[in-house]
Amino acid sequence: MTFTVVRRGGSLLKHLHVSDAFSRPIRVAIGQGHARRICFSTRRTALRPIAHKLPASTVLSRQLINTFATEAEGGKTSKSSDGTKKKKATKKKKAAKKPKKAKKRGLTEKQKEAKKARDQRQLIKDLKAAALEPPKKLSENYWNLAVMSKLAEAQQTSQKGSQAFKAATDLAKTISAEEKERFASIAASNKAANVAAYDQWIKSHTPLQIKDANLARRRLAKLKKSSVPQLRDDRLVKRPRTAFVHYFVERTEGGDFKHMAAKDITSRVTEEWRGMTDYEKEKYRRLQEADKERYLREYREVYGEDPASVKSDSESS
């Protein structure tokens, strides 16, 4: 613990009568527990007590002094070049390094093929849902009706599977003229019922839904490499004709190519079109522009949106 000078003493020595103790400044050591007795041989005058009774608050206990000494020793400071005191900088802890993310491994060829197959199956499933499923048709063929009516009779003879179907076919061949006429009447009635059911089902969907369903059907046909019939709906907007198509329709409706095959007709009309001048083609180009305007107008009215070609043009601009 550091020592203090009498004239610079703290609260412990401020009550001392320094004038009677010293004639000049002298450093006096103060004990930690109590102030030692001071004697002077150089001064013969009567001494009076140099300290009054100290208040209890000014007396520091040994434990408290030791505490101050410990804190003073712990809080050491260093002097800078300009004489000011500054505390030593504490060392900063290094931030813990973040663990590196493990690199994702690429898929193997086998895994890629499996993923491609899964994606293909999911795409076909989604397209089938968008393609819509029309109501099942009743049989419109009298022969099929006759075979199906005889199948129950063939199954009663304990025949099953292909044998029962073969037996029903044989029985259908033996039907009378009256039965044949009855089955033909049922077939005609079923055909009319199918048309009514189909029209009702079509009208239960919006034209935009039918258009999107046909688009999905075209994609299904391409993916499955099979024929997927388009849905028939008179409300659908007809696509615009090109100038060549207008010319082709005009030429074939005249009846000049009745004796020719379809392939030969196409080749002949294409050759004629290529030999025409711009002035001769101008008529059909005007028809093309008028038909395009009709298509855009009807498309917005029926589907409530612009065609994809118009959307792409507006986005690019």
Give domain status of residue 18, yes or no: yes
Residues 121 and 219 in one domain: yes
pLDDT digits (tens, 9 = 90+) for 233-260: 999 999 999 999 999 999 999 888 888 9
pLDDT digits (tens, 9 = 90+) for 40-73: 444 445 545 544 554 554 444 555 445 544 444 5
Residues 63 and 124 in one domain: no
- Total structural domains within the chain: 3
Nearest CA-CA partner of 132 in 217, 208, 233, 238: 217
Q: Which residues contact 312 (CB under 8 A, 6 or more apart)?
A: none
How confident is the model at residue 246, as a pLDDT?
97
Give domain status of residue 147, yes or no: yes
How confident is the model at residue 66, as a pLDDT?
53
Residues 202 and 298 in one domain: no
CB distance 127 to 216 below 8 Å = yes
pLDDT digits (tens, 9 = 90+) for 119-139: 999 999 999 999 999 999 999
- Structural domain range at position 17: 1-74
Residues 161 and 213 in one domain: yes
Give domain status of residue 43, yes or no: yes
The span from the CA of 130 to the CA of 118, in Å, is 19
Residues 214 and 260 in one domain: no
Give domain status of residue 238, yes or no: no
Kindly give the interhelix angle for 207-224 and 278-303, rounded to the nearest 10 degrees. 110
Give domain status of residue 294, yes or no: yes
DSSP 279-291: HHHHHHHHHHHHH
Residues 19 and 65 in one domain: yes
CB distance 34 to 50 below 8 Å = no
The span from the CA of 309 to the CA of 297, in Å, is 14
Look at residues 164, 195, 224 and tell me which one is the last residue of a structural domain. Answer: 224
Higher pLDDT, residue 177 or 97 = 177
Higher pLDDT, residue 57 or 228 = 228
Residues 197 and 288 in one domain: no
Write the burial class of residue 13 (CB in 10 Å: 0-12 exposed, 13-18 middle, 19+ buried).
Answer: buried
Residues 185 and 219 in one domain: yes
Look at residues 224, 255, 281 and tell me which one is the last residue of a structural domain. Answer: 224
pLDDT at residue 293 above 50?
Answer: yes
pLDDT digits (tens, 9 = 90+) for 157-174: 766 788 888 888 988 999
Q: Which residues contact 227 (CB under 8 A, 6 or more apart)?
A: 221
CB distance 265 to 166 below 8 Å = no
Residues 126 and 204 in one domain: yes
Nearest CA-CA partner of 1 in 74, 66, 93, 98: 66
Give domain status of residue 91, yes or no: no
Residues 205 and 125 in one domain: yes
Kindly give the interhelix angle for 177-203 and 142-155, rounded to the nearest 10 degrees. 110
Look at residues 224, 252, 281 and tell me which one is the last residue of a structural domain. Answer: 224
Give domain status of residue 103, yes or no: no
Give domain status of residue 125, yes or no: yes
Residues 200 and 172 in one domain: yes
